[in-house]
Structure 1
Amino acid sequence: MLGRMFYLVAGAALGGYVVHKLNRTARVWSPAGIAGRVEDHVAEYRAALREFNEDIQDAMEHREAELHRRYSGGGTAPESSELPTGRAVNVIGSHGVANAHEEKDGR
């Protein structure tokens, strides 16, 4: 009699565990479960992208400050004559060929 009682309790426990696992698996593979996982991944990617953008912004500001120091001698904005803004083109004038900078498309 004690042996039958043991197998009854063991079977009930095992059955409960199997039902629990099946319900959890069904929830995970339901549309809401899949959407939740996708949402989590998108949130992780957004956080990583935000961190990457902040790193790029910091590096850009650091480089910009370095260029300002190099070309203006301090932390102020550089003179327009120190940094060429356009492409160099050959211009033939009365004194021969000279390099001049041409403003074109902001490059």
Structure 2
Amino acid sequence: MIRRLLYLVAGAALGGYLVHKLNRTARAWSPAGIAGRVEDQVADYRAALREFNEDVHDAMRRREAELHRHYDGGDQPAAPVDPPGRSTRPRGAIGAPDPKDGR
């Protein structure tokens, strides 16, 4: 009789444990559970990307400061920079053939 009672208690405990595990697995594979896991991973990726972006910007600022010290720190004035687009400086003689035209 004690043996049957022991098996009954052991079976009830094992059954309760299995039901608990099955419920957790069902919740994990439900659409809300999958969405939660994906959302957590996306948040992790966004944080890593934000950190990488900050590291790149810091390195860029350090490199720009180094270049400014190197090129702007001398006694010579900085060379004027042409605005983007067409060049305003004359090239060659007026009416001379332009090699890019193929004439």
TM-score range, shorter chain: 0.7 to 0.9
Q: Does 1:53 align with 2:53?
A: yes
Q: Structure 2 regions of 5+ residues with no counterpart? A: 95-103
Q: 1:82 to 1:64 in 2, by over 3 A?
A: farther
- What is the letter of the counterpart of residue 7 of structure 1? Y
Q: 1:23 to 1:3 in 2, by over 3 A?
A: same
The structural deviation recorded for 1:83 is: 6.6
Q: Structure 1 regions of 5+ residues with no counterpart? A: 95-107
* Residue of structure 2 equivalent to 1:69: 69
Distance (whole Å) between structure 2 residues aligned to residue 90 and residue 13 of structure 1: 93
- What is the letter of the counterpart of residue 30 of structure 2? S
Distance (whole Å) between structure 2 residues aligned to residue 90 and residue 29 of structure 1: 71
**Large movers: runs of 4+ above 4 Å:** 82-86
Percent identity among equivalent residues?
69
Distance (whole Å) between structure 2 residues aligned to residue 84 and residue 71 of structure 1: 17
The structural deviation recorded for 1:92 is: 1.2
Q: Aligned-residue CA RMSD in angstroms?
A: 2.6
- What is the letter of the counterpart of residue 32 of structure 1? A
Question: Per chain length, whose mean CA-contact separation is higher, i.e. which structure has more relative contact order (CA < 8 Å, sep 6+)?
Answer: 1
Deviations 1:49-81 (A, max 9, x none): 00000000000000000010001117xxx83x1
Q: 1:71 to 1:83 in 2, by over 3 A?
A: farther
The count of corresponding residues between Structure 1 and Structure 2 is 90
> Could you say which structure has the larger radius of gyration?
2
* Residue of structure 1 equivalent to 2:6: 6
Report if aligned partners of 1:71, 1:82 keep a CA contact under 8 Å in 2.
no
